[in-house]
Amino acid sequence: MTRSFLIQQIKEKKSFLCVGLDPDLEKLPPHLLSEEDPIYSFNKAIIEATEDLCVAYKPNIAFYECYGEKGWKSLRKTNRILPANCLQIADAKRGDIGNTASRYAKTFFEKESAGLEFDALTVAPYMGKDSVVPFLEFKNKWVILLALTSNEGSFDFQFLETNKREHLFETVLRSADKWGGTKENMMYVAGATRGENLSLIRKHAPDHFLLVPGVGAQGGSLSEVCKYGMTKDCGLLVNSTRSIIYASKGKDFAEKAREKALELQVEMQSELERKNII
């Protein structure tokens, strides 16, 4: 998916919502457990209930991988029904040396490898340039590089000050910029737990899209995120997972998921209007 198509979707849907698809058999509505593939049935219902309200879906691969071959099958089937007008993000946080990174890129980007065909992959930066560049070689595909994450552990290393007189996450942003990552093929993960950190990120990445986790269940505020992170093209994908997909454990789970997604879409619409983006 190209950047301009993504921006067009944001304007048409009046939303920059990304729905996380992290199915957990212990949290799924019990009536689904008798289905042949409960995870797929769950995802399908969530997707059908929310696809006009969001512009991206993001399955976290851990939630599939932990069921082995069965889980990978559910992931593949889910990938197949993700709408073409939504950015399809594999949240895998992979990162390995060059020839291995190429394998991971094929896994998630090339249908003939693992049967998957995502638009974007989250990638961990610790191993540096050659662990990221192989993903950038795929046309119309995106790297979403971890810069600042939304968890407590982000304070352990990401906020260290480096000899470049900045935080480590800032060095990551500046480096990636030199690796051939442009606003057309690179986004950054930018945690929302403290809105003002987004302005630091914007200093280095004024035009890149940011994938923002941590709104909702993890405590971040949407208006803070927009205040510090929104650009004239929106430039944000705000992810919500648990508050949407686990809004109800009853037969009404999809309906309730839609309600939660709608609440966020309405809030997002006013933010887009406030900034004259729509």
Stretch that binds a second copy, among 42-50, 156-164, 200-208, 268-276 (CB under 8 A): 156-164
Catalytically active residues are 93
Q: Which of 52, 115, 256, 259 binds a second copy (CB under 8 A)?
A: 115
Stretch that binds a second copy, among 11-19, 40-48, 93-101, 192-200 (CB under 8 A): 93-101
Cα–Cα distance list, 87 to 7, 8, 223 (Å): 11, 12, 23
CA-to-CA distance for 25 and 32, rounded, in angstroms? 9
Q: Which of 41, 149, 197, 239 binds a second copy (CB under 8 A)?
A: 149
Q: Report in angstroms how near the CB of residue 247 gets to a second copy at its nearest.
A: 18
**Interaction with a second copy in 208-227: which residues (CB under 8 A)?**
none
Q: Which of 26, 34, 36, 69 binds a second copy (CB under 8 A)?
A: 69
Q: Report in angstroms how near the CB of residue 234 gets to a second copy at its nearest.
A: 25
Closest CB to a second copy among residues 72, 85: 72
CA-to-CA distance for 202 and 232, rounded, in angstroms? 12
- Residue 239 within binding range of a second copy, rule CB under 8 A: no
Closest CB to a second copy among residues 79, 185: 79
Q: Which of 103, 203, 232, 275 binds a second copy (CB under 8 A)?
A: 103
Count, residues near a second copy per rule CB under 8 A: 58
Closest CB to a second copy among residues 5, 157: 157
In this structure, is the dihedral angle defined by the CA atoms of residues 182, 269, 255 and 218, taken in order, positive or negative?
Answer: positive
Q: Which of 128, 243, 263, 267 binds a second copy (CB under 8 A)?
A: 128
DSSP conformation letters of the chain: --HHHHHHHHHHHT--EEEEE---TTTS-GGGTTSSSHHHHHHHHHHHHHTTT-SEEEEBTHHHHTTHHHHHHHHHHHHHHS-TTSEEEEEEEE---HHHHHHHHHHHH-HHHHS---SEEEE--TT-GGGTHHHHTSTT-EEEEEEE-SSTTHHHHTTPEETTTEEHHHHHHHHHHHTT--TTTEEEEE--SSTTHHHHHHHH-SSS-EEE--BSTT-B-HHHHHHHH-BTTB-EEEEE-HHHHTS-SSTTHHHHHHHHHHHHHHHHHHHHHHTT--
Stretch that binds a second copy, among 9-17, 36-44, 151-159, 227-235 (CB under 8 A): 151-159
- Residue 154 within binding range of a second copy, rule CB under 8 A: yes
Q: Which of 66, 80, 250, 273 binds a second copy (CB under 8 A)?
A: 66
Binding site for a second copy (CB under 8 A): 22, 60, 62-63, 65-69, 71-73, 76, 93-98, 100-101, 103-104, 106-107, 113-116, 124-132, 146, 149-158, 160-164, 168, 171-172, 175
